[in-house]
A and B are shown apart, each in its own frame.
Chain A
């Protein structure tokens, strides 16, 4: 019996290990190429670790390219998008979860509809709309587009979190003397922190790695985000893999930091004890 258990546990762990290796290997390769000197990149082939590691690509990316600007742009765009989307989605999701109002089904239908089109189809009309407003080639324009595309899904996400919180809690708060908004802010929102963290994380990553719209709407260097910037390492005749990977590794840092910051809320089950379990 115990032997069977041990075997099962080992198999279980091996399966997890295989999965993790599979998921993380591309990231490892990113790191490996980023520290491989250009001279060794092609000569050493598929060695797991270069015979000589160096940070020269990092130094180059940070000092001789526009990447610091790209990072800053990406951070501004992603953070603004994440914050705006989360606020809008929290309010909309709450309304969807708690209120019955005329046209609710239509609104849900429209929100779903926006998720059905391939984004490529919308680039031309988007550009047409933003250009007379002077919002092409600007971070603001990019934020507006990202917000528009992320709000529907984020709303559904937030709604599902609100659905999980008993209505009795607001009722109790309102009887205790709170307005609905105070109840929302002081009772419901704190309990939805995991949901808010998830939404923030989801939208931030989506905006951080978005390439298509950024590529089409931005042309000048001063408003370029880093996914577009990565393309600048692809020239007509060669790809500078070392520098590209170094930039890629650097681009991971903000996303990692962000998730490090919110992960505590992602795993917390705050509603325990609200009602009889």
Chain B
């Protein structure tokens, strides 16, 4: 177990910069998820921690020791790859024990460690099989097993669930969380899936364009996204964004509707802003009243548990997520209300949160 400190890390591939001045410290035992769209530099950062990519500038420390120049094998970390990267010519048991053999661990100790890991992951009956005789989920488990046998200082996960089907992904997600609870090892987990990030993380690091956009616990990012990128990335269905200007104490949208400025927010007259409204925070109300809007229903998407309703409002396609079935019919008018304290206001120029 160890802490990981990342100080002003930069990375360029040739002349293309991919990471700009990244600072992050990960506490001992913490589960940190790096999340962002593809190309945001999250995998590169993980591979730099692993030692698989050179560090262009800055410093990475594991347990206080600078590891910029340390070979991957001497960093004492384990990594689970998206492709699993199992050694095809070795059995499951050999795959799992390879790292211990390289460390010249005694044979009895190896058998013990492999047995324990296999027990934890339910791999006992598969130990003598080759990877090609395993299903995707089983391969994923072997990859996990290979990481946990040797009790490394930290676990690195590079989109480990991306190749699994939805049901298996859910199951393995819970298993990873349980495993982390049991082992308590420092973990850095890369994913582009915000649900994985939300469910697994102690802390989420949202990245975009090689820059850290926000660091915080999952609900922080959901409740108070620091900028437009995080607001749009976290949450499903995605947040609605409405552009407008501050006009005489309210936000006037481009189609002329007015939204009351939420409390605690100071806006300059004429300031260009974007209002973020989560679909689940749009309320459907019985009749038109003060502060409510009326719109025609455009599209209804039932998801089983809830329903996504699209309406034409505030100059755009506004999504509403409701748990009430039959609350909306296509073509019918719908009355909705916005909760002031659940609105997010962003400066359109800087894209940063206001208030």
Contacts and interface: CB of A to CB of B under 8 A. Distances in A.
B134 A274 contact: no
Interface in B112-169: 130-134, 136, 139, 146, 163
Contacts of A175: 50-52, 72-73, 75, 77-79
B85 interface: yes
Interface stretch (A165-173, A212-220, A223-231): A165-173
A191 interface: yes
Contacts of A176: 73, 78, 98-99, 102, 146
A156 to B, nearest CB: 24
A169 B47 CA distance: 14
Interface stretch (B86-94, B295-303, B312-320, B334-342): B86-94
Given A173-B98, A273-B134, A179 B89 contact: no
B85 A270 contact: no
Interface string B224-245: 0000000000000000000000
B83 interface: yes
B103 interface: yes
A272 interface: yes
B132 A273 contact: yes
A190 B94 CA distance: 14
A268 to B, nearest CB: 10
Contacts of A276: 83-84, 136, 139, 163
B118 to A, nearest CB: 17
B81 interface: yes
Given A176-B146, A178-B102, A179-B71, A273 B85 contact: no
Given A173-B98, A177-B102, A270 B89 contact: yes
A169 B102 contact: no
Nearest to B149: A176
A7 interface: no
A175 B163 CA distance: 21
- Count chain B CB atoms within 10 A of each CB in A177, A271, A272 and give the residue with the most: A177
A172 B88 CA distance: 12
Contacts of B77: 175
B67 to A, nearest CB: 13
Contact of A190 (B72, B78, B89, B136): B89
Given A179-B73, A270-B89, A172 B133 contact: no
A169 to B, nearest CB: 5
A174 B130 contact: no
Nearest to A177: B102
A99 B311 CA distance: 54
B81 A171 contact: yes
Contacts of A173: 87, 98
A243 to B, nearest CB: 48
B81 A178 contact: no
- Count chain A CB atoms within 10 A of each CB in B51, B84, B163 and give the residue with the most: B84
Given A175-B73, A176-B98, A191 B83 contact: no
Contacts of A115: none
A174 B52 CA distance: 9
Interface in A177-218: 177-179, 182, 187, 190-191
Contacts of B133: 273
B83 A166 contact: yes
Given A168-B83, A168-B85, A273 B131 contact: yes
Given A175-B72, A175-B73, A177-B99, A191 B81 contact: no
Given A175-B72, A177-B103, A275 B85 contact: yes
A169 B87 CA distance: 7
Nearest to B52: A171
Contacts of B50: 171, 175
B102 A275 contact: no
Contacts of B86: 172, 273-275
B298 to A, nearest CB: 39
Contacts of B78: 175-176
A274 B88 contact: yes
A174 B72 contact: yes
A272 B85 CA distance: 11
Contact of A187 (B72, B79, B87): B87
A172 B147 CA distance: 10
B97 to A, nearest CB: 10
B8 to A, nearest CB: 25
A173 B88 CA distance: 12
Contacts of B103: 177
Interface string B252-289: 00000000000000000000000000000000000000
Interface in B51-109: 51-52, 71-73, 75, 77-79, 81, 83-89, 98-99, 102-103
9 contacts: A168-B81, A168-B85, A177-B73, A177-B102, A178-B73, A179-B71, A272-B88, A272-B132, A273-B88
Interface of B: 47, 50-52, 71-73, 75, 77-79, 81, 83-89, 98-99, 102-103, 130-134, 136, 139, 146, 163
Q: 9 nearest interchain CB pairs? A: A273-B132, A168-B85, A275-B83, A273-B131, A176-B99, A172-B85, A177-B102, A274-B88, A272-B132
Given A171-B79, A272-B88, 6 more contacts: A171-B85, A175-B50, A175-B78, A177-B102, A274-B83, A275-B84
